[in-house]
Structures are given as structure tokens and as C-alpha cells.
Amino acid sequence: MQYLKERKEVLAIARVIYEEKLVPGTWGNVSQRIKDESRLLITPSGMDYLTMTMEDIVLLDLDARSIEGTRNPSTETHLHTEIYRQRPDVGAIVHVHSTFASAFAVAAKNIPVILEETAQIIGHAIQVAPYAPCGTAELARQAVKSMGEGRAVLLANHGLVGVGQDLNMALKVCQIAEKTAMVCLYANSLGQVNELGAEEITLLREKFSHYGQAKE
């Protein structure tokens, strides 16, 4: 079995999205591009996250052809492969059905940049891609088009997709998007939602790029 380290990482993030209730049941999916290769690892379709093993993770090429694994890959394989083909900067994808983000997707409302961490981690309002049936090439095309060069996109009447250079960042994008959606709905119930301006977002992103400890 190839790519044991990467399989372990995909499995770990898949369990996090389940444990943090970002997905119900077996919904959602996680993938990671194999560095410097036209391959990816993706979670299997319809399997319990708590019993899923590294052997269940499926190895594919960017044309969605199976290379290694006996399981059927996620039904959203088209979505993942299309993002990787169009976005060489993306190293990992996390797709969730979290409650508050899904509410925005159902209402066809963008999630605005209202929190400092939204500006720092995502850096843009999260757009809603036009509706297309789940698992289709059309859904993949609409998602890629609506996300552009961004880090997240809402799928109408469906859920949220977060991307990053690695799995931890893709997960963090989904976590911050969900928190932002929740706070926005609560703030709206109080009567007003104050969005951050473009200059504030740029400044916050720049400062965050130097946040934390310097690498030795």
C-alpha cells in the first residue's frame, strides 16, 4: 500500500470533521494531492468515519481513475479532481455539510468577512455556486468558477468546500467559515452585521502571514 503517511493524514482529518459535527453520518469528503505527482488520495463513498481505515482511502489520478484501493471513491470525486486540475496551488480539499454554512448555501447568501480570523484565514466573502446535482461534473465546474482563486465556496442547497496548501489549512478554512456563518446569523438577529472593508482585510491577512513563531 502506497503513501502511508498521507493516508493517515486524510483519515485523521476525516475523523475530525465527523467528531466536530461538520458532517452528519457519512456525508462530506476529504482529499489530499500527492506532492509532485498527478495523484490524490480521497475518502471512500458512504463509509462510517469511525470505522474507516487507511486501506479504505482510495488512490486516484487527476482523471478520477483508480490506481489503488478496493473501495468506491467519494461521490464528489469530480469536484476534487476538477479543483486540483484548475488550482495547482491547492494541496488538499475538505467538503463539509456544517449547519450554519449550509444555511447560507440554502438561502443563496454569501458568507461575509465579519471577523478578523475570517479575513486572516479566508480573506474573501464566500460565494455561493449555482445549484447543480451532487456528484456531477456540472457541480464541479460551477464550484471552481465561483471559488476562483479563493479558499472556500458554498454549494447551493448542499454545503461548503474549503481548500488549502495542506489538510490542516483546508480544515481550518471550513472551521472558520462555519464560525463566521454562525456569528453572522446571531449578529443579524441583534439587528446589524458590520463587514470588514477591503483595506482592513488586506492588512489583517498581511499581519497574519507573520503570526506565530519564526521557523528555525
Catalytic residues: 76
Sign of the Cα torsion 131, 140, 92, 49 reads positive
For the chain, strand residue ranges (E) read 29-33, 39-42, 58-61, 66-68, 92-96, 128-129, 152-155, 159-164
In order of 19, 128, 148, 185, 195, the CA distances from 200 in angstroms are: 34, 23, 21, 22, 10
Sign of the Cα torsion 122, 127, 128, 134 reads negative
SS3 state at 128:
strand
Instruction: Output the nine-digit C-alpha cell for 15.
Output: 475523523
SS3 state at 163:
strand
Sign of the Cα torsion 105, 43, 71, 64 reads positive
